[in-house]
Structure 1
Amino acid sequence: MVKVSFNAALAQKDVKKDFETLIPAENRDTEAALVVRQRSRAWCWCVCLGIALFLSGVVVAGAYLYRYYVVEQDNEVFICGVNYHENDYMITEEEEMMEEQSFRQRLLQERIQVLVPDQVEIIHVPVPDFEDGDPADIVHDFQRRLTAYLDLSLDKCYVIPLNTSVVMPPTDLLDLLINVKAGTYLPQSYLVHEEMVVTERLENIENLGAFIYTLCRGKDTYKLQRRDRILGMQKREALTCHKIRHFENTFVVETLICEP
């Protein structure tokens, strides 16, 4: 009697081959194409996701660079000094070149910050070298059309309509400061006077704008008016006055603030 046996692995392989032979060739091609299509679609989604992440990174990086390189440059703080003559008229170039001058020169230093997007100029005047001037913080708000002086010696705040004939607009002032810093332009050294008088105390300063409110918050705040516009007021009247010398133009301004 002859015993016949089969190899199990060989039998399974033959069965698998027989099963594959039962599948039509068209169906096998369709299944292969479906697998390739699914892989292509997944790869496409990965590429799109990668591009989206890359673009979002570019946008964030661009915003970061704009914030810290462009905006901060606009908000640059300038520390400036200007020599000027005590006499309140312009000195010619020939007179400045003379060895013996009868005019006394003084140096005025201040720190200026120009906020072009907000249309605001912030000026800090330190304690001057001369005796008859007060240190001060000044805000020129071109949107509100107001100027505020904080006399640091008196700890009082004074508000008056902005004088655009004396104060340069922020863009022009920034250009001037950049040129002065580069040494391509030097301010003219003469002095302009303006005289103010306190007219009333301001109880509500919240409507004066955020910058002036920040400057004058918690301080006694008063409204000013130019003295030449007050009817019936004579210059010989006895007033208590304080000087603040500053510059936000091509000349130095002496602001005299007087209280009855």
Structure 2
Amino acid sequence: MATSLICHVCGDRSSGKHYGSICCDGCSCFFKRSIRKRALYTCISGQGGCAVDKARRNWCPFCRLQKCFTVGMNASAVQEERGPRKNRKLQARTIHPSQILAQVMVACIRQARVNESFASFSREQQNQILRHVWFECFILRVANWSIDISSIVERCADESLREIVHRTKALKVDLIEISLLETMILCRKAQSPPNNSSSSTRGRSDRPLVSTFLPFSCYRFGKLLLGLRGLSMHCYETSVRAMFREIAGDGLMEHFVTKL
């Protein structure tokens, strides 16, 4: 009697290896569909690390796709099924960089809204802070996106922005550490909220900010903090704004900040 195989992604029964890893038909189809459509998902919890099992595999496509990559599923194996090289190049040219980068921006704003420390501020305070730091969160997300979008960065960004994305990627952070760095970016500005808010309001984020840092070793936290300070991402606001202005016109960032 043949030993049944277990899907490495969700634990369901599998018939064998698909795209480089043992997985069920459901996860195989999900992975293929995500790669072919170049889908860009956002974690429903805003933190990453959602449970991916047989019962809950459809809850969070972002975490499910991350799990697919973690267990060794290979995007190039999907791309090889697309047909002749000429057709693949033609399809690559149909990608609209403004749509991809806009989706990254949407993810940045939504992740900020559910950040435990940042959420303690009023909507108006959040908006004013985001107007000052959105491009830093954007650079962090672009450098660590679930699907490699380096070709879009190469095509749309100037030399200085390409360099800072490369340096940010070199930090090699995981999903939880991305959330930690976003907290530091958001709450660095939040320590002095706009409109001369009262001292009681300024301290509202202190407790969740501390609790966010507790799971990290002093060494790793120090390394992340020094890495973030060394990047000086705030110096690249002009480059990020110029890129968005080139591909989507003026007003895109303001629209996202006020509407999302």
The TM-score range, normalised by the shorter chain, is: under 0.3
* Greater share of strand: 1
TM-score by length of 1: 0.23
* Greater share of helix: 2
TM-score by length of 2: 0.23
